[in-house]
Structure 1
Amino acid sequence: MNYNSLKLLILLLLFTSCKQERRVAVEIRGERIPVTNEIAEDTSIANYIKPFAHHINSTLDSVVAYNPNYLNKSDGELNTAIGNFMADVVMEQANPVFKSRTGKDIDLVILNHGGIRSTIEEGPLTARTAYTIMPFENEIVVAELTGTKVKEMLSYLESNRTAHPVSGIKIEMDRDYNITNATINGQPIEENRTYFVATSDYLQQGGDNMQFLKEPVNLYIVDYKLRNAYIDYFNKIDTLKTARDDRYIRSN
């Protein structure tokens, strides 16, 4: 048998063997491996990340301000001290950025009650505090809405009956949650003009069923995370001052 014939024979045998060794899985097994303290720590990895972890923790836990009162999102029917704080900070921190780029002012802020992810304990305020109340990567955006869309927002609030944080707007409801009066910056809402509404990118995309935010006249990206706005605010104050007020109320 010459070399070429031998090579052909080997190739045929390989091809035949591959065909014959074709296998089909008949059973798949899974096993849950719990991660507990019983698993030994890899000291080389632990030692490598230790200085980074120390730096991050010291940064997050550095005290920058003080909160004199315990804050939670259940202390009011339609507005809460913590919600008012969160909406007011968005207004205060984002408006200078927005105005420097557009020459316009933010008219109002709306956030969602469910987006308040934690309480704020009485005592020191740190960057970690901001991470607890806003653990997500949501960013501030400004949606330019028609007056008609703003009135859709009011209809949403009538039916939702929840303490969604707002700033720049004053809303009064009767006992049956019908809105009897609503003003922006002290003025009646006009259907034939537009308003600049600051919110989160999540809500602007229809989160929490806020459909009135989805198709704005214009959408402005502020490049400012909600969490960073709170951290920056903590860094510039000494003591946190916030309270329930009459911005969003229901008559008895």
Structure 2
Amino acid sequence: MNYKSLFFILFIVFFFSCKQEPQHLTRIEGKQISISDSLESDLEIEAFVKPYREHVNKELDSVLAYSVDTYSKSDGELNTAIGNLFADVIFEQANPVFKQRTGKDIDMVLVNHGGIRSIISKGNVTTRTAYEIMPFENSIVVVGLKGSSINQLITYLLEAKRAHPISKLKVVVDEDFNLVETSISNKPIEASKTYYVATNDYLYNGGDSMTFFQPNDSLFILNYKIRNAFLDYFAKVDTINPVIDDRFIKLKK
């Protein structure tokens, strides 16, 4: 028997001959570790990451289009230029996909004001711009809603009094937010008609208290992320110049 075998046997005998006392947690201690620029970089890790970081930054900084001005979601009361762009891009990019799959057209678009996460700055519009305004993985879905549910949607907009991005839907209110006019593609809304509404999966599932999307007539999952819709749109246009218009307005006396 070699010494390693002897040591192992003695360890086993000692271990099982010892009385196993119950263990109790008596104290938890911790300390705050500040993470700041004062921490020294690990040069080896930095060297490993550097080519990947440079590649990602090169892709993100690739120029796709040009913005003639700076656009923010705080620039308007009931509709904003960036919000109108947001909804119109979803319609323009998603409708051909929906049409090819179903033979139908999207009737309108509704997304949420809070979903716009950044401004679009005047100057070059890059891949990074699309990631900044839509950092989430939200995808476009199309929901079949009866006109009666569209009326619930409109009631939501009236109560919210916020510039939730819409496209193809028009809402006009008076100074007291009483409804004056509503239409989809310049036609009156019919209570019994099914309208195909493009939105995102977060809102479809009740996000921002938009409960009117369920129940519904039908649901179409396009497997098309909103960010990718923006990337595709920016890549095909030379210049973006969205405006505030009359799609959701309050009349003045």
The 2-side partners of 1:101 and 1:39 are apart by: 54
Q: Output the TM-score relative to the length of structure 2.
A: 0.91
SS in 2 for 1:232: helix
Please state how far the C-alpha of 1:53 moved relative to its aligned partner: 0.9
Name stretches of at least 5 consecutive residues in structure 1 with no aligned partner: 1-9
Residue 230 of structure 1 corresponds to 230
The two structures, once aligned, show a CA RMSD in angstroms of 1.6
SS in 1 for 2:18: helix
Residue 17 of structure 1 corresponds to 18
Residue 112 of structure 2 corresponds to 112
Bigger mean CA deviation after superposition, 31-40 or 70-79: 31-40
Identity percentage of aligned residues: 48
Q: Does 1:218 align with 2:218?
A: yes
The 2-side partners of 1:134 and 1:18 are apart by: 61
Q: Output the TM-score relative to the length of structure 1.
A: 0.92
Residue 185 of structure 1 corresponds to 185
Q: Does 1:52 align with 2:49?
A: no
Which amino acid counterpart does residue 19 of structure 1 have in structure 2?
Q
Residue 125 of structure 1 corresponds to 125
Please state how far the C-alpha of 1:16 moved relative to its aligned partner: 5.8
Please state how far the C-alpha of 1:35 moved relative to its aligned partner: 1.7
Matches within 5 A, 1:9-88: 14-15=15-16, 17=18, 19-20=20-21, 22-88=22-88
The 2-side partners of 1:200 and 1:16 are apart by: 65
The 1-side partners of 2:200 and 2:172 are apart by: 24
Please state how far the C-alpha of 1:90 moved relative to its aligned partner: 0.1
SS in 2 for 1:182: strand
The 2-side partners of 1:225 and 1:179 are apart by: 33
Residue 246 of structure 2 corresponds to 246
Matched positions, count: 242
Please state how far the C-alpha of 1:117 moved relative to its aligned partner: 1.1
Whether the 8 Å CA contact 1:170–1:246 is kept in 2: the answer is: yes
The 1-side partners of 2:157 and 2:20 are apart by: 67
Bigger mean CA deviation after superposition, 66-75 or 28-37: 28-37
Whether the 8 Å CA contact 1:154–1:179 is kept in 2: the answer is: no
Deviations 1:76-128 (A, max 9, x none): 11110000000000000011111111111100000111111111111110011
The 2-side partners of 1:177 and 1:58 are apart by: 48
Residue 7 of structure 1 corresponds to none
Deviations 1:175-209 (A, max 9, x none): 11122111111111111111110011111111111
Name stretches of at least 5 consecutive residues in structure 2 with no aligned partner: 1-10
The 1-side partners of 2:140 and 2:237 are apart by: 21
The 1-side partners of 2:41 and 2:122 are apart by: 36
Residue 197 of structure 1 corresponds to 197
The 1-side partners of 2:59 and 2:14 are apart by: 66
SS in 2 for 1:188: coil
Please state how far the C-alpha of 1:15 moved relative to its aligned partner: 4.6
Please state how far the C-alpha of 1:145 moved relative to its aligned partner: 0.8
Please state how far the C-alpha of 1:18 moved relative to its aligned partner: 5.1
